[in-house]
Amino acid sequence: MPALSTVVWAAGGVLLGWVLWKSGIAFLRTMGAPQPEPPPPGEMRKLNVRYRCQVCGLEIKLTLAPDEDPPPPRHCMEEMVVVAPLYE
């Protein structure tokens, strides 16, 4: 008859193997899921707005937004400032 510690180690190994198997299968299923549908072509609005972070100088260009006048993004924990006109 095997020792109790051997039985516990074997049961723990089987349990750990089962958990790894299930999590691996779940991961592979999420990788094989189809991509979500893109939004309908009328929902996003084309823009050409440039923002600059006053703290570090980072500049970004916003080309699509769901709003007419989108709120400025945040960088370095502060709102960025507009450096180009909203409408060209």
Model confidence at 34, pLDDT cuts 50, 70, 90, reads: confident
> What is the rounded average pLDDT of the residues 40-44?
71
Place of tokens 């299930």: 22
pTM above 0.85? no
| For the chain, domain boundaries | 1-36, 45-82
More confident residue, 43 or 24: 24
pLDDT, greater one: 41 or 14: 14
Query: For residue 86, which of 48, 36, 29 has the smallest C-alpha distance?
Result: 48
Q: Is residue 14's pLDDT more than 90?
A: yes
